[in-house]
Amino acid sequence: MLRNYTDMKVFSGSAHPGLARQICDSMGVRLGEATVTSFPDGETFVKINENVRGRDVFMVQPTCPPSNQNLMELLIMVDAARRASAARITAVIPFFGYARQDRKDQPRVPITAKLIANLLVAAGVHRVLTVDLHAQQVAGFFDIPVDHLYAAPVLLKYIRSKKLDPLVVVSPDVGGLKMASAYSQALGASLAIVAKRRKSATETDALYVIGDVEGKNVLIVDDLTETAGTLISAAVILKAHGALNIFASVSHAVLSDLAIERLRKSNIEELITTNSVPVRPTDACRINVVSIAELLGEGIKRIHNDESVSSLFEINGSKDKP
């Protein structure tokens, strides 16, 4: 039996209120009223301005830059809802920051993604809804249910409309091969890989290309770009191998000043991304933002009604996870 939507409350932090409003509009519900401000010393203050006792509460807050501020704000909002006797609290985190720190690959370093999972559970989160985790194993760091959605169906709809034949889908590194393979199958395109070597946190070297890109349009796919180093170095070597028009598609465009400058000088014709985070307006290159509000709204409705969310993975009539 479906629950009455009046039992649902959706609130937004200050990270991306525009997305939260779009999600509510897609569901036909009102965005909840909450006060989220900072004291002069920088401490966050939260007050939920309506009754949430016994309600199914959803907190929309990507942990994009300023990552620590937005994460702390989310934790405080969750604590406020828990102390106000919310029946269930779901953290809707379209972009899950710290997901790249998912392993102990050096001596004396933390596994920060696991720490963030522990903090969210300790604050009172009962469930997490997120999109395109950098590493899928991060979902296993939680001792609560995690609904991991994929932006691929939304991005693919836009990419298909561009009619980019002949097209090659390119993974900018070996780690992204699974995502690139899913995109190539969905688009009926061939597949190529750029082997890279990371020089630092902001610089990478593209070493060689595996696959044929000469005389073809190229779509570089990745889950995240922050400094655009991986995308730019891949674009350079692909152009050198005879690629025609180069496009890039990423789920999360967390664009830094360095990324903007690099994109401005690059041969990437268009960057296709989602509104999982606020995308900075720029004339660096053409950026097209597709909305995942309906995807998240449908996920929220299904969670609220205790329905399956697995059909949201469908790309080509079958459940295909990038």
Task: Say whether both 93 and 109 belong to one domain.
Answer: yes
- If asked whether residues 11 and 146 sit together in one domain, one would say yes
Q: Which positions are annotated as active-site residues?
A: 196
pLDDT 10s digit of each residue in the chain, 322 long? 445 555 999 999 999 999 999 999 999 999 999 999 999 999 999 999 999 999 999 999 999 999 999 999 999 999 999 999 999 999 999 999 999 999 998 999 999 999 999 999 999 999 999 999 988 889 999 999 999 999 999 999 999 999 999 999 999 988 889 999 999 999 999 999 998 666 665 565 667 899 999 999 999 999 999 999 889 999 999 999 999 999 999 999 999 989 988 998 899 999 999 999 999 776 656 889 999 999 999 999 999 999 998 878 665 444 555 6
The tally of domains found in the chain comes to 2
Pairing relationship of beta strands 44-48 and 56-60 according to DSSP bridges: unpaired
**Residue written as tokens 């780690």?**
175
Kind and range of the H or E element at 74?
helix 67-83
Instruction: Tell me the residue type at 230.
Output: T
Query: Do 126 and 136 belong to one domain?
Result: yes
Q: What is the pLDDT of residues 144-164, one digit of tens each?
A: 999 999 999 999 999 999 999
285 and 297 in a single domain? The answer is no
Cα pseudo-dihedral 117, 119, 125, 126, rounded to 10: 50
How many residues can be counted in the chain? 322
Q: Which amino acid is at 225?
A: T
Q: Are residues 168 and 88 in the same domain?
A: no
- Answer for the pair 81, 35: CB distance below 8 angstroms, yes or no: no
Q: Which domain holds residue 22?
A: 5-150+293-313
Cα–Cα dist 61/19, whole Å: 9
| Whether residue 197 is found in the same domain as residue 283 | yes
Alpha-carbon span 63 to 224, nearest angstrom = 13
Q: Do 248 and 308 belong together in one domain?
A: no
Do 119 and 144 belong to one domain?
yes
Say how many C-beta atoms besides its own lie within 10 A of residue 240's C-beta.
11
Domain CATH number, residue 176: 3.40.50.2020
Q: Does a structural domain hold residue 48?
A: yes
SS3 108: coil
User: What is the number of other CB atoms lying within 10 angstroms of the CB of residue 5?
Assistant: 14
Q: Are residues 10 and 143 in the same domain?
A: yes
Q: Which residue has the tokens 């969310």?
A: 309
Q: How far is CA 310 from CA 58, 131, 263, in A?
A: 19, 13, 35
Cβ neighbours for 213, distance < 8 A, ≥ 6 positions apart: 168, 170, 192, 238, 241, 242, 243
Q: Say whether both 135 and 226 belong to one domain.
A: no
